[in-house]
Amino acid sequence: MIEIRDIGKKYAMGGTTVHALRGVSLTINDGEFVAIMGPSGSGKSTLMHILGLLDTPDTGEYLLDGRPVSRLTEDELAVLRRDTVGFVFQQFNLLSRMSAAENVALPLLYSRRGMSAGKGVEFLEKVGIADRAGHTPAELSGGQQQRVAIARALVNAPKIIFADEPTGNLDSASEKEIMELLRSLNRQGITVVVVTHEEEIGRQAGRIIRMRDGIVQQDDAAATVADVVPVPSKESKTTRSGSGGTLAEYFEHFRQGFRTLLANKVRTALSMLGILIGVAAVVAMLALGTGAQKAIEAQIASLGSNLLVLRSGSMRMGGVRMESGASTRLTMEDAAAIGQKIKSVKETSPAVTGRGQAGFQNKNWNTSIFGVMPSYARMHSAVPPVGRFFTVEENSRRQRVAVIGMRIVRELFGDRNPIGEMIKIRKINFMVIGILPEKGANSFHDQDDLVVIPLLTAMYRVLGKNYVDYIDIEIEQAEDMEAAQDSTMEIMLSRHRIPPSLQQDAFTIRNMADIQNAVSASGRIMSLLLASIAAISLLVGGIGIMNIMLVSVTERTREIGLRKAIGARRADVMAQFLSEAVVVSVFGGVTGIILGWLITVVMSALAGWATSVSLGAVTLAFVFSALVGVVFGIYPARKAARLNPIVALRYE
């Protein structure tokens, strides 16, 4: 039963206050067929909107089935609109992109029963147009569209049908069909309230309420009363009004969102463009940064891991060795002493360096000469992929054997296999027994432009040195590196009797682990910087999505009003628009990931840049793009959800 007591409603129009309703009181019993009549501006539509829970009165009290409506929350009002009330609008308010069956089934989306086109066909059959179930509103006549609207109002089995000028846009034949349909529903026990200004329509109701200037002027039975079979009122249905939604609901929101976006392909593509560019930039930048970091780490690793490099003299200007101390020569005995006195030392490997001409037949190349111990191959990841490294015996016998870098192979031999060939190093014949693995250039030197020969051979046959230039010290565990470094310095200062005033510049120990950590940290910072720059594109893309979604909310204001009129809660409307924002951002993100990967492939192929697309970068880009959709979609979605149903329905 509907009961209103002293209802008042006023609107501010410009500087004028319009009193739409002035102290209206009436009661409508279950099963009645009521026509509310009056001229334009009489307040009849405002009264209907308040009775139908689309609007709220400024004063007075409204009781629906004994419940004070003013005490209900917005979600509770939405549940009543969904389960108790059905609306038939003069303008039909059908969604143009949906078929007739889908329009009818739309209220089911908000009733937790799940939107079903089959259910829509069932109710279209009840109003006599099941054969038009697959047609869109544009393919239906006015009378057919109004029948679809009535079927939509019935799909949740309401107790009350409100029809606002249901025949206002119809021809006379369609008008008769619609009124007969409404009378039939009333005979089934449904309360029907019709707003009309046509006397012939009003006379078909069981009761006429006439309004003028916002007050009830007359309330009596019609001259010709329709045959109404009194039906006991139905008990209120138990409904769920919680804020949560089912998985099927969210799936349907995403499906509808996808269809909406497809209906505006150009706008959707432009919305996606910002996200696409941003994600592609993130993937490409991170791939470039990660690839560069890995390449640098590989070069550092090629110098050896867990290594201390001991040299005489000091290093200045960013680690560049300027000069060696004249009185602090390193010796073979120094290397032996370090290995014996420091327990954490796995092995020591003294070495000498120099430069000289390497020649083969009529070709010559000036290169670096390294005299090293056999352990050099293992300590510096320099095991030859072709041929072999020299042995301890070959070193002790000062054999003239050489392992050459790939630059030497290319310059002296071209495509010829150098293994077993004789080359001249400083005019001394050496047999090539191996080729060093290709390592490329680093900040120190070209690691492929060198010749490696036995240490004793280099010292006494080629370079004429009685001392060594540096000593590689391999430590068992990485955590012992700092302690071993300190111990090495103490041993060297003691052995060479360096006075305190000269100790600072006597020896330099380079910790390869520290260098590797520093380079890795720099690489991570560079990757983060590149990703941050790319993230700005994502931010711009997110702002673009927000802008487009705000435009969409404005364009679809009437649709939002319709959804709220048929039972959508704020959470439902928010979910609808958020799903559209997420669909745009996720599709843009996936496309951006593919584009970013293609960019890295092109950079690697054309520019020769080291790139590495990691799963972490792809995951980060995807998650970030989805978050952009959620974050930048929240404001437009909230704006849509907060719209007043009747204000939204009136929007032009």
pLDDT given for residue 390 in this prediction? 96
Is the pLDDT score of 231 beyond 70?
no
Residue 172 confidence class, pLDDT cut points 50, 70, 90: confident
Is the pLDDT score of 373 beyond 90?
yes
Q: Residues 305-340: pLDDT tens digits? A: 678 889 887 654 444 444 444 457 899 999 999 999
pLDDT given for residue 114 in this prediction? 61
- CATH 3.40.50.300 location in the chain: 2-244
Distance of CA 136 to the CA centre of its chain: 34
d(CA 204, CA 224): 7
CATH superfamily of 2-244: P-loop containing nucleotide triphosphate hydrolases (3.40.50.300)
Q: State how beta strands 386-387 and 320-323 pair.
A: unpaired
Cα Rg for the chain, rounded, in angstroms? 43
Q: Residues 184-211: pLDDT tens digits? A: 989 999 999 999 888 888 888 989 999 9
d(CA 382, CA 370): 13
Q: Which two tokens stand for residue 74?
A: 């917005």
d(CA 551, CA 635): 12
Q: Residues 88-123: pLDDT tens digits? A: 888 888 988 889 998 898 888 887 666 666 788 888
In the three-class reduction of DSSP (H, G, I as helix; E, B as strand; rest coil), residue 238 is classed as: coil
